[in-house]
Amino acid sequence: MRGRAANRRTASRAGRAGGSRTWRAAAALALGGALALSACGGGDDDGGKGGGDASKVEVFSWWTGPGEADGLNAMIEEFKKKNPNTQFVNAAIAGGSGTQAQAVLASRLQNRKPPDSFQGHAGAELLDYIKAGQIEPLDSFYDSNNLRAAYPEQLLQQISYQGKIYSVPVNIHRSNMLWYNPGILKDAGIAGPPKTVAEFATALKTVKDKTGKVPLSLGAQWTADHLLENVLLGSMGADAYNALWKPGADWSSPQVTTALGQFAEIMKYTTAEAASTDWQGAAKAVADGKAAFNIMGDWAYGYFTGGAPNGLGKKLDTDFKYAAAPGTEGTYMWLSDSFTLPKGAPHRGGALAWLKVAASKEGQDLFNPKKGSVPARKDADKSLYKGYLEYAFNEWNKPDVKLAGSFWHGVNASKKWHTDIDTAVGLFLQSKDAAKLQEALVAAAKNNAQ
């Protein structure tokens, strides 16, 4: 994903990994995670039995970079083995986070020329397509292929809208990760990664006072939005954070006030020139020994360890280490790439055959080790996931793990709400006024809930 996250910003979109909370009934969730209604209704699809033209399938995505393209190609080969008589058309369009691809897709959908299946982020980001009647619910597909048992129940709840499921998650990325330089922490006399948001603020001050290094590296504005969701989660806890995305949520609460005050304090220890680079530059500063900490999604691991020209070739435990973002241990702030079934798909049978591969254990185990993510399914082959991915796999599959959706990466904030939050953060970066930031976030929530 993560050139992908770099371009996720909507208000000041510049640049791998990343949702009106018109996602209204959706936010009346069952487990407080993000968007679901408890009742599950039947879908309009034919259960994945292959109804419709299966002579061809055109799959639309933005997976063209190293890792992600390799993973996609692995799934394509699996599809061809299972569907030798179906022509596969890879309609991937380059551009981090799918900014360019989504513009092309919007034009095609508007002109009623949809691909047979297209990539999107599971959750509220798909709301615009759902409300416009551009994608079909997939409940019958899930039932026919026994998928409800294959995916975590919390995940199904968080990707449902008005009781129906509209996408097939292929992978899971974790957005609440702290990356740090062990040498700088040692020089500062800090024993290990901070466990709470308050400890984090103290550690940042210690790094500044004792080492002169950058305490916390940030990149373009969207990385401040990403930091905000991590501070909200770490300060408030999973249940209170998830409740923020329900209709009528109280963004003026003392808990939010405290969290935003901590966010403002933490922002004092970032660099003034942070906006001149993107997430890669901010992450690189940690691995290069120029900055102590960076909070970024787990796509950073692939960037740290990958070889030239796209990776840094750095060593875990020597150049960098990782931990859950402060205050978030035991919670998986997730985002997911998923595939849809557009209404009016020209080759509907081919689309359902593709979704079956994307949903399968075999397809996800072929895709994710190359992509640098973990499978959304519960029954994946653990032996395929090494290094950080082994840690992520174990965390995702803990029976007591709590899930929190990433608002920045499409799970629990619609595109308009996403934009309104980003605008509020942009104004805060100029004013440094946490009270005004809270006022803007209160207004954003009211404007995007029905």
User: Residue 438: which pLDDT band, with cuts at 50, 70 and 90?
Assistant: very high
CB atoms within 10 A of CB 167: 30
Stronger pLDDT, 136 or 19, i.e. the higher one: 136
Does pTM top 0.75 for this prediction? yes
Residue 27 identity = A
Write down the domain spans for the chain: 4-173+337-399, 177-333
- Residue 215 reports pLDDT greater than 90: yes
3-state SS track over the chain: CCCHHHHCCCCCCCCCCCCCCCCCHHHCCCCCCCCCCCCCCCCCCCCCCCCCCCCEEEEECCCCCCCHHHHHHHHHHHHHHHCCCCEEEECCCCCHHHHHHHHHHHHHHHCCCCCCEEEEECCHHHHHHHHCCCECCCHHHHHHCCCCCCCCHHHHHHCEECCEECCEECEEEECCEEEECHHHHHHHCCCCCCCCHHHHHHHHHHHHHHHCCEEECCCCHHHHHHHHHHHHHHHHCHHHHHHCCCCCCCCCCHHHHHHHHHHHHHHCCECCCHHHCCHHHHHHHHHCCCEEEEEECCHHHHHHHCCCCCCCCCCECCCEEEEECCCCCCEEEEECEEECCECCCCCHHHHHHHHHHHHCHHHHHHHHHHHCCEECCCCCCHHHCCCHHHHHHHHHCCCCCEEEECCCCCCCCCHHHHHHHHHHHHHHHHHCCHHHHHHHHHHHHHHCCC
**Edge-to-edge strand list for the sheet holding 291-296:** 214-216, 291-296, 177-180, 321-324
Least confident of 138-147, 154-163, 237-246, 268-277: 268-277
Q: Specify the pLDDT at position 159.
A: 87
- Predicted pLDDT of residue 13: 35
Name which of 101, 105, 104 is nearest 135 in CA terms: 105
- Residue 375 has a pLDDT of 97
Pick the CATH number of 4-173+337-399 from 3.40.50.2300, 3.40.50.740, 3.40.190.10, 3.40.50.720: 3.40.190.10
pLDDT higher than 90, residue 117: yes
**What number of CA atoms fall less than 13 Å from residue 167's CA on the CB side?**
28
Query: How many Cα atoms sit within 13 Å of 272 on the Cβ side?
Result: 0
Q: Report how far residue 344's alpha carbon sits from residue 187's, in angstroms, rounded to the nearest whole number.
A: 61
70-74, 174-178, 268-272, 284-288: the lowest-pLDDT one = 268-272
Between vectors from CA 392 to CA 390 and to CA 397, what angle results, nearest 5°? 95
Residue 168 phi/psi, 5° resolution? -115, 105
Mean pLDDT over each residue of the chain, to the nearest integer: 87
Reported as a pLDDT band with limits 50, 70 and 90, residue 372 is confident
Give the mean model confidence (pLDDT) for residues 203-208. 98
Mean pLDDT calculated for residue range 175-201: 98
Look at residue 26 and tell me whether its pLDDT is greater than 60. Answer: no
Stretch among 11-15, 212-216, 351-355, 416-420 having the lowest mean pLDDT: 11-15
> What does the alpha-carbon distance between residue 120 and residue 340 come to, in Å, rounded to a whole number?
8
Interval 270-292: pLDDT, tens? 986 666 678 889 999 999 999 99
Query: What is the sign of the dihedral through the CA atoms of 266, 271, 277 and 279?
Result: negative
Please check whether residue 89 is in contact with residue 59, taking contact to mean a CB–CB distance below 8 angstroms. Answer: yes
What's domain 177-333's superfamily in CATH?
Periplasmic binding protein-like II (3.40.190.10)
Q: How far apart are CA 69 and CA 56, in angstroms?
A: 20
pLDDT greater than 90 at residue 98: no
Mean pLDDT of 34-50: 41
Statement: residue 193 has pLDDT above 50: yes
Whole-angstrom distance, CA of residue 160 vs CA of residue 123: 7
Which residues, 6 or more positions from 299, have their beta carbon under 8 angstroms from its beta carbon? Answer: 1, 2, 4, 5, 16, 17, 173, 372, 373
Do the Cβ atoms of 389 and 305 come closer than 8 Å? no
